[in-house]
């Protein structure tokens, strides 16, 4: 404690962060050196960004060894981002189906960057703005769709997702999604987060807070970690996997006899082998099934175990599917459970999924990008939203739309020209008057 009082850099750390900083020699100092060594840009300037320095930065720090002298550090988030959580995506059919559906849905709506006008309105910044280009051209290896898919999959497996803001050889910003189970958060009592440490393939990499965009599901048990949806649904998913494993092994070999023949005498090994040989010769094969058996030395037959039907195999799988459906907010008809499906309730399930699951998720992600990514790039006045106009489940069918427009026209809420503009039709000379106006020609 005496040493901690002597070091003002260590004064604000939590106990875990204090031990980590002692081992590393203070992440704040080392992070500044790392940033000075690796994050400087090529000569010149980038629109909206501060001038670049003459130092060349190597590509994608996430795969490079950058954190010398930080071995063995374990952060608070590691207990909530276990690697085995990611394995459920590859081993549990309901978990894979639910997460894939959410990831596919997220990638369908384009991310649009807006600027707020002086009158309080908003206008798109356009495809040539650096912020919009960054969200459409993530890096040389990821497309925009792949970025959002990766982000949603990471969130649904580990409850957290991380974007690293890197610079390419031309000084242009890039986004690299990082695996949450390899990320460690270094907390700070005054600054909340002092930095991030990523365990890449070739070693550890230190990031400062402005280089990371952190998405996380709120965790009431640990503020420095997201709460993985796998945590509450894990037992149900394991039950489904165990049921499938049992059924596979049952079909291969049940590993126990169906019954035991009880005798009054002790049989030698040769007598047992001779009994098996005669038994199989008489009863083995489909043509000899159900033949009566006679054995003078057998006094009783005892059936072992329970029947496969008593295991209620199918109901166990259905329960797993229901638990995954509840956890991920994906209605069962969308997970191919069509036993009671009709055209009407499938459409209702699709609308429910978008309005109650995906729209809140999209707003959550857009808020994080607006708050954490744009200010670090010098675009604090911009805002990102997902364009939902192309989502069929959120659009009215034609008959419903016509009925609504007629009602609004009859009550004078809309004019003919206003309705025509929504359908990309030209105005008519009399279309700005109320439809019930007696002076209308």
Domain of residue 416 covers: 396-441
Q: Residue 150 has what pLDDT?
A: 97
What is d(CA 284, CA 291) in angstroms, rounded to the nearest whole number?
A: 10
Q: Does any domain span residue 379?
A: no
Structure confidence at residue 65 (pLDDT):
40
Number of H helices, E strands in the chain: 15, 11
Strands laid side by side in the 111-116 sheet: 122-124, 111-116, 382-386
Does some domain include residue 58?
A: no
pLDDT of the residue at 3: 36
Q: Which position has the token pair 């070693």?
A: 203
Sign of CA dihedral 70, 73, 76, 78: positive
For residue 208, the SS3 value is coil
Number of domains within the chain: 1
Would you say residue 421 lies in a domain?
A: yes
pLDDT of residue 7: 38
The verdict on residue 305 lying in a domain is no
In whole angstroms, give the CA distance from residue 52 to residue 153. 34
Residue 433 lies inside a defined structural domain of this protein: yes
- Give the per-residue pLDDT at 320: 87
Residue 37 lies in a domain: no
- Residue 178 maps to a domain: no
Phi, psi of 46 (to 5 degrees): -120, 140
- Residue 118 is predicted with a pLDDT of 78
Tokens, residue 177: 């999604």
Grouped pLDDT means (10 residues each) for the chain, 441 residues:
37 44 45 42 36 40 43 49 90 94 95 85 88 94 95 96 91 93 89 90 88 94 91 89 75 65 80 83 74 69 59 73 93 86 83 94 96 92 90 75 84 86 80 64 50
Q: Is residue 173 part of a domain?
A: no
């Amino acid at each position: 404690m005496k040493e901690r009082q002597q070091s003002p850099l260590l004064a604000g750390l939590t106990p875990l962060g204090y031990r980590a900083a002692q081992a590393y020699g203070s992440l704040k100092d080392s992070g500044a050196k790392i940033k000075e060594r690796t994050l400087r840009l090529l000569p010149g300037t980038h629109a909206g960004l501060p001038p670049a320095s003459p130092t060349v930065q190597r590509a994608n720090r996430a795969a490079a060894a950058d954190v010398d002298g930080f071995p063995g550090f374990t952060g608070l988030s590691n207990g909530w981002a276990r690697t085995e959580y990611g394995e459920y995506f590859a081993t549990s059919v309901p978990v894979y189906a639910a997460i894939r559906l959410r990831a596919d849905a997220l990638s369908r709506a384009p991310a649009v960057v807006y600027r707020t006008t002086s009158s309080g309105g908003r206008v798109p910044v356009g495809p040539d703005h650096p912020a919009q280009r960054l969200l459409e051209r993530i890096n040389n290896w990821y497309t925009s769709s792949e970025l959002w898919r990766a982000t949603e999959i990471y969130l649904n497996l580990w409850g957290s997702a991380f974007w690293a803001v890197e610079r390419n050889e031309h000084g242009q910003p890039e986004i690299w999604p990082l695996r949450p189970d390899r990320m460690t958060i270094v907390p700070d009592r005054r600054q909340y987060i002092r930095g991030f440490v990523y365990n890449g393939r070739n070693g550890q990499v230190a990031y400062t807070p402005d280089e990371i965009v952190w998405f996380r599901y709120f965790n009431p048990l640990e503020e420095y970690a997201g709460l993985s949806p796998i945590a509450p649904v894990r037992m149900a998913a394991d039950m489904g996997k165990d049921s499938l494993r049992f059924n596979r092994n049952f079909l291969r070999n049940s590993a126990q006899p169906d019954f035991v023949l009880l005798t009054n005498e002790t049989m030698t090994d040769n007598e047992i082998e001779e009994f098996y040989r005669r038994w199989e010769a008489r009863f083995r094969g489909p043509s000899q099934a159900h033949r009566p058996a006679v054995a003078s030395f057998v006094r009783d037959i005892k059936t072992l175990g329970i029947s496969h039907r008593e295991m209620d195999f199918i109901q166990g799988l259905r329960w797993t599917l229901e638990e995954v459906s509840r956890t991920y907010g994906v209605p069962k008809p969308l997970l191919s459970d069509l036993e009671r499906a009709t055209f009407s309730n499938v459409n209702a399930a699709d609308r429910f999924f978008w309005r109650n699951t995906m729209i809140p998720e999209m707003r959550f992600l857009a808020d994080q990008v607006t708050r954490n990514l744009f200010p670090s790039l010098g675009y604090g006045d911009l805002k990102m939203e997902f364009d939902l106009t192309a989502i069929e489940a959120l659009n009215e069918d034609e008959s419903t739309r016509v009925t609504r427009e007629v009602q609004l026209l009859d009550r004078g809420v809309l004019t003919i020209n206003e309705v025509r503009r929504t359908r990309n039709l030209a105005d008519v000379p009399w279309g700005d008057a109320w439809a019930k106006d007696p002076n209308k020609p």
